[in-house]
A and B are shown apart, each in its own frame.
Chain A
Amino acid sequence: MASTATLRKPASGFRISRKMLPYVLSLPALLVCIGILIPFFTAVIYSFQRYRLSQPWARQFNWGENYLNFVTDPAFWNTLKVSLLYAGITVTLELLLGLGIALLLQRRSTINNFISIMLLLPLMIAPALAALMWKLMTNPSFGILSYLASLVGLHDFRWASSPDTALLTVVLVDIWVYTPFIMILLLAGLRSLPTQPFEAAALDGVPRSFVFFRITLPMLTPYILTATLFRLLDSIQQFDIIYAMTQGGPGNTLTVFQVEAYLNFFQSTNVGRSAALLIILWAITYTLSNVFIKNWLRLRERARGEA
């Protein structure tokens, strides 16, 4: 008897109890989470410190001083304004353009499939390279776009080198690179919509504008929300296009969060200020994500309820 019991024991030694199983299964996710949280909390700690690499002897906790300094610092408010403006303009325009293109390409055909693939090409170019390409094209002396602008009477148009047109120029690059992203998401959404409501509307002779605003758009809203969320989070953290084209200038015209934080860290070695800027940026993106996800869930619930 004793020998039989001994034989059974090893099997039970490796058995994971039903209670422990969820924890064990979530262990990999927990490890990844720790890998993300350690740098995050390190940044939070740095943001509460007076910490310049060039003055290691002066490093100390100053608690909220970095954040309080922002309140009276016009450069910070400019950064906040420019970042939100940039994100708002790019996402709105990309959404409108992306939706328009997706509607044009909605019908499956060889030519539409070919065009949709071609339109994805800018998305495959690194944004920094796209910015350099546009920098050449917008060169006031020899750029092709400057030449085209002169044909329509815009002589001496200075693109990214003028504070009046710098935002417009980087927005154009952003649109060129990222509109295909929205287009492809919305195109997938459009092509997956059920056909019955559209067929019924066609039978009833419902006007196209009514179909678009009352059927297409409401059914497409979850896709629009998803695309907007992704683009908004990305564009409020924009760095490469703006830095490659203007380094944040002229003046402080385009000193968005990431550019300002980068310059603070790598050029000024002001770790404390750089970290505080990035924590504020995190707070903004976190809030935006929450708003969007809540709306997305609400829409999904509504759709289920209606179903």
Chain B
Amino acid sequence: MYEKEKDLISAFLRGEVDRRGMLKGLGAAGLAAGTAGTLFNMVSTQALAADFDWKAHSGKSLKLLLNKHPYADAMIANLQAFKDLTGIEVTYDVFPEDVYFDKVTAALSSGSAEYDAFMTGAYMTWTYGPAGWITDLNEWIKDPTKTNPQYAWDDFLPGVKNSCAWNGQPGGALGSEDAKQWCIPWGYEQNNLSYNQEMFDKAGVAVPKNLDELSAAAAKLTKDVGGGVYGIGVRGSRSWATIHPGFLSGYANFGQKDLNVSADGKLSAAMNTAESKAFHTKWVSMIQESGPKDWSTYTWYQVGTDLGAGASAMIYDADILGYFMNGGDNKMAGKLAYAPFAANPAASAPTPNIWIWSLAMSNFAKDKDATWYFLQWASGLEHAIFGATKMDFVNPVRASVWKDEIFRERLNKSYPGYVEMHDISAPGAKIHFTAQPLFFDVTTEWAATLQKMVAKQVPVDEGLDQLVESIDRQLKEAGLG
């Protein structure tokens, strides 16, 4: 029964038939969507199991530490497939993002073996890695006896994959030859423009192409849209999270850096160059003129919900915020559009800094081989396709998913312009920070300085000079400067 259909799915999984061809064939065979889905899962599980002993750790159990996020939701929805495939039992704890990383730090710093794997951001691995809390995953990725031959490590987007690899040397280049793979990318965010098309039309504003145009457009939107709508949403809380999205993406587009690395490996702050001061001046002025009134309390949550509720006309933030606000029960669902953004008029392309939700293995994991089975399944192509096509797993980190026509069509239909935005900015997308253990000190103080500038407590020039002085002192104290 269904032998022909199974052959068709197997051909797809071998790469001999594309997804459209498979679906067309299944449709022609008169298969209902539900039956086709069941059959697909069954055959893909068999295909996964064909070349690799997925049952090697059957009977073992793992525990995960997860952040409440659509990526985690997609994984949980598909978790039974992993249990069926491997016979490994998986339990998990889910925490909201406000307290998630405190929980991770507490669990890891105490050497607890409670969790085998956990969600993390790449920046966090700059603390966890040198502290000896997480494992270099190269040992497993490069071992053909432990990794499914279909895993396709080369399928990961290079900028994203390299951003999760660091050699542990302060200032060391991400993705270098000697880099340790501290985590596996799972889903990622580029920082671009998401805007309200209706408001843009009403105010007669064109999509801005650089920082000057962005400031001017935001000011016009604030003035002309009315109803208390403000022009531009960006983060402003006293946190590292204020620096890494739109702010650093624009900053990096002007060729500016957070830190300089000398020939002997010493670090020094680099935020008080003339170009940096010019960028900061424009950024601060844009927030003062067209940002939210309580900008200094804005996290990703307020930035996103304001766009979704029609309180702001655009955001320069994570593209997936624009994605999620364009659906569901949001007031502005269906009215949002997307655009890649290069802040520097002289730049040839956008250079979005990226946030990567990743999976890492605890160094205290009870069974690292079994944990790696979970990590390779969760970051594997089959789960990525499942998440991207059946759940809200955007942005996927595998090139093949971005090439998947069904996925692209789904996005193009419901989120016009999203795929195009992604494709244009993806080549320049990577982490633009300098990898070093004082990342959170530097970025939190940078955010506090921005707050002072926006509140006019300190002029931009003076504020940046003070910031550099303070960062240099801290780097010296830590033996890095």
Residues of A within 8 A of B (CB): 52-56, 58, 69, 75, 135, 139-141, 156, 158-164, 245-252, 263, 266-270
Contacts and interface: CB of A to CB of B under 8 A. Distances in A.
B132 A56 contact: yes
Interface in B101-139: 101-102, 105, 109, 126-127, 130-132
A75 B452 CA distance: 14
A58 B440 CA distance: 18
Nearest to A53: B131
11 contacts: A54-B438, A58-B479, A75-B470, A141-B311, A156-B293, A161-B293, A250-B296, A250-B455, A251-B455, A267-B240, A268-B441
Given A247-B237, A251-B451, 8 more contacts: A52-B478, A54-B131, A56-B130, A141-B294, A249-B297, A249-B447, A250-B457, A267-B240
Given A162-B455, A269-B105, A55 B478 contact: yes
B438 A251 contact: no
Interface string B411-452: 000000000000000000000000001101100100111011
A69 B474 CA distance: 10
Contacts of A268: 438, 440-441, 444
A266 B440 CA distance: 10
Contacts of A58: 478-479
B355 interface: no
Interface of B: 101-102, 105, 109, 126-127, 130-132, 228, 237-240, 292-297, 311, 437-438, 440-441, 444, 447-449, 451-452, 454-455, 457-458, 470, 477-479
| A139, A158, A267 interface centre (most CB from chain B within 10 Å) | A267
Contact of B238 (A53, A247, A269): A247
Given A141-B293, A249-B296, A250-B452, A55 B437 contact: yes
B457 A163 contact: yes
Contact of B294 (A69, A75, A139, A164): A139
Nearest to A69: B477
B451 A250 contact: yes
B127 A249 contact: no
B321 to A, nearest CB: 19
A56 B444 CA distance: 22
A247 B242 CA distance: 12
A247 B239 contact: yes
Contacts of B127: 53-54, 269
Contacts of B102: 266
A82 B294 CA distance: 21
Contact of A251 (B101, B130, B448, B477): B448
B437 A161 contact: no
Nearest to A262: B102
A161 B440 contact: no
Contacts of A245: 297
A163 B477 contact: no
Contact of A267 (B130, B437, B440, B451): B440
B239 A159 contact: no
B449 A161 contact: no
Q: Sort A-B residue pairs by CB-CB distance and give the 8 closest, nearest first.
A: A249-B238, A161-B294, A54-B437, A140-B293, A251-B452, A250-B296, A250-B451, A54-B127
A8 to B, nearest CB: 53
A246 B441 contact: no
A250 to B, nearest CB: 4
A305 B96 CA distance: 59
Nearest to B102: A266
B130 A161 contact: no
Contact of B441 (A161, A247, A250, A270): A270
B448 A266 contact: no
**Residue from A52, A56, A159, A161 having most chain B Cβ neighbours under 10 A:** A161
A251 to B, nearest CB: 4
B166 to A, nearest CB: 12
Contacts of A56: 130-132
A248 B238 contact: yes
B438 A161 contact: no
A160 B458 CA distance: 18
Contacts of B109: 53, 269
A144 to B, nearest CB: 15
Nearest to B101: A266
Nearest to A146: B293
Contacts of A251: 238, 448-449, 451-452, 455, 457-458
Contacts of B451: 163, 249-251
B455 A54 contact: no
Nearest to A247: B238
Contacts of A266: 101-102, 105
